[in-house]
Structure 1
Amino acid sequence: MQIQNATWTEVRDTDTNLAMVPIGSTEQHGPHAALSTDTLNAETIAETAADQLDEPVVVSPAVPVSIAEEHRQFSGTLWTSESTFRSYVRDIVKSLAFHGFDRVVLVNGHGGNVAALREVAGTITRHDDAYAVPFTWFEEVGENASRMGHGGPLETALLQYANPDYVREDRLDDAATGGSRRWGDWVGRVNLAFDSAEFTENGVVGDPREASVGLGEDLLDVASEILADLLKTISEHDIERPPHK
């Protein structure tokens, strides 16, 4: 159930404790993919997983602005501070839990959110009346996860399959030739770069020409199936915490 498309009485009468919060970003994805790429992909994964469940699950509106200052040199990118982001996500989960949807998966589509989501999920679970876990879809696609990049083959492929109008197919060659093959500027295990403009001319990391509708369908199948399994697990997960000794 998409909360924003339901009436309050329909939400009240929904017999479930499960919820998802799609979390994306509004940030550059090269010259070929929309700034809403991360948000669209998170929504797609969440909606597809919800359709696979035998029980209802409520899906909140997506969070479209998050931790993305690393893309600030590219026009249109929006961002918020980590503290504001964590507080906002926590408040959304508190709202869901107030209405009985207290088992929540934070369905993430942006790499810059990973650390903050793990932290806020821990805070929610320890201190609020809810249990929350983060799920980042591109970490759950097997060997393909190593091809992630930024505006690269994975994100582009999922868009091509689920939201093709948001990919400028005629710009894929430019996207590939002006991009980078690796995220960051590394010395050993130390990344010297903080902003993507330090190592990619057009914001792309990876080769989006390797994307295809078929790859996008495969990615969606794998990630949504794992997410559906996660939802089934947390619906009955024991969240009692052992007392301090």
Structure 2
Amino acid sequence: MDLTEATWTDVSELETDLAVLPVGSTEQHGPHAPLGTDVLTARAVADAGVERVDREVVRAPAIPVGIAEEHRQFPGTMWVSPETFRRYVRESIESLAYHGFDRVVVVNGHGGNVDALREVGGRLSRDGTAYAVPFTWFEAVGDHSAEMGHGGPLETALVRHCEPDLVREDRIDEAKAGAADGWGEWVSHANLAYDSAEFTENGVVGDPSDGTERRGEELLELAGDALARLLEAVAERNVPRPDDR
């Protein structure tokens, strides 16, 4: 059930404790892909995972702004501090738990959110408020994960598949020409760069021309299947914390 479209009386009739919370970012994804790429892909994967499980799952509204200050030089990018983001996600999950939806999978579409989401999930789970587990879709697509980049082949492919009208096809060559090969400037296993504008001319990392619609379909299958397996595991897992040793 999608909370955005449901009434409170619809929700009162549910007999489930399982929810998904899509989380993304509103940030640059090169000249060809929309600022909402991370939200659109997180939502699409959340829906694909829910469709694959034979149980009721509550779908919460997506959180559209994340930890993205590293893209601040590109117009349209929005961000909040890590502290604000953690608090917002935590309180969103607390509100779900208040109504009995206290097993929550956070479906994430933005790399900058990963560490904060793991911290929030751990805190909520340890204090007994909710069992919250973050899932980042591009880490769950097999060999494709190695080509993640930014506005590169994976994100371009998934948007082409899910929201084809939002990809500026006439700018793919431009996006490819100004892209970096990898994320950051690395010396002795340390990244010298803090902002993406330091190492990519137009915000792109990786070759978006490799992000075909057919590849996007495969990515959605892989991510949806992985999320469905996780939802089943979260629904069935014995949640109480271990005793002291």
Q: Does the TM-score normalized on the shorter chain lie above 0.5? A: yes
Residues 87-139 of structure 1: per-residue CA shift (max 9 Å, x gap): 00000110111111110001000000011111110011011421000000000
Structure 2 partner of 1:68: 68
Residues 157 and 215 in structure 1, CA contact (< 8 A), matched pair in contact too: yes
Q: CA deviation at 1:244?
A: 2.9
Q: Secondary structure at the match of 1:3?
A: coil
> Could you tell me which residue of structure 2 aligns to residue 21 of structure 1?
21
- How far apart are the structure 2 equivalents of 1:129 and 1:238? 15
TM-score after normalising by structure 2: 0.99
Corresponding position of 1:167: 167
Letter in 1 for 2:144: N
Superposed displacement of residue 42, structure 1: 0.0
Counterpart Cα distance in 1 of 2:13 and 2:35 = 36
Question: Which structure 1 residue ranges, 4+ long, deviate > 3 Å from structure 2?
Answer: none
**Structure 1 equivalent of residue 224 of structure 2:** 224
Alignment of 1:191-210 (within 5 A): 191-210=191-210
Residue in structure 2 matched with residue 115 of structure 1 by the alignment? 115
Q: Which residue of 1 aligns with 2:49?
A: 49
Asked whether the 8 Å contact 1:94–1:128 carries over to 2, the reply is no
Structure 1 length as normaliser, TM-score?
Answer: 0.99
CA distance, structure 1, for counterparts of residue 223 and residue 119 of structure 2 = 22
Conserved in 2, the CA contact under 8 Å of 1:27 and 1:35?
A: yes
Find the aligned partners of 2:14 and 2:167 in 1 and give their Cα distance: 36
1:188 Cα shift? 2.4
1:239 — aligned with what? Answer: 239
Q: Residue type of the partner of 1:14?
A: L
**Equivalences for residues 102-181 of structure 1 within 5 A:** 102-181=102-181
**Contact kept in structure 2, 1:180 and 1:206, CA below 8 Å:** yes
Task: Return the letter of the residue paired with 1:31.
Answer: P
Match of 1:79, SS? Answer: coil
Note the C-alpha offset of 1:15.
1.5
* Identity, % of aligned positions: 58
Aligned length: 245
Give me the whole-angstrom Cα distance separating, in 2, the residues matched to 1:210 and 1:52.
28
Cα separation, 1, equivalents of 2:44 and 2:188 = 36
Tell me, in whole angstroms, the C-alpha distance in 2 between the residues paired with 1:99 and 1:236: 19
Compute the displacement of 1:54 (Å).
0.8
SS at match of 1:70: helix
Q: Provide the secondary structure at the position in 2 that maps to 1:28.
A: coil
Query: Which amino acid is the alignment partner of residue 144 of structure 1?
Result: H
Q: Runs of 5+ in structure 2 lacking a partner?
A: none
Partner of residue 83, structure 2: 83
Whole-angstrom CA distance in 2 between matches of 1:145 and 1:129: 32
- Displacement, 1:49? 0.9
Per the alignment, residue 98 of structure 2 pairs with: 98
Shift of 1:192: 0.4
CA–CA separation in structure 1 for the residues paired with 2:130 and 2:65: 23
SS at match of 1:5: coil
CA shift for structure 1 position 69: 0.1
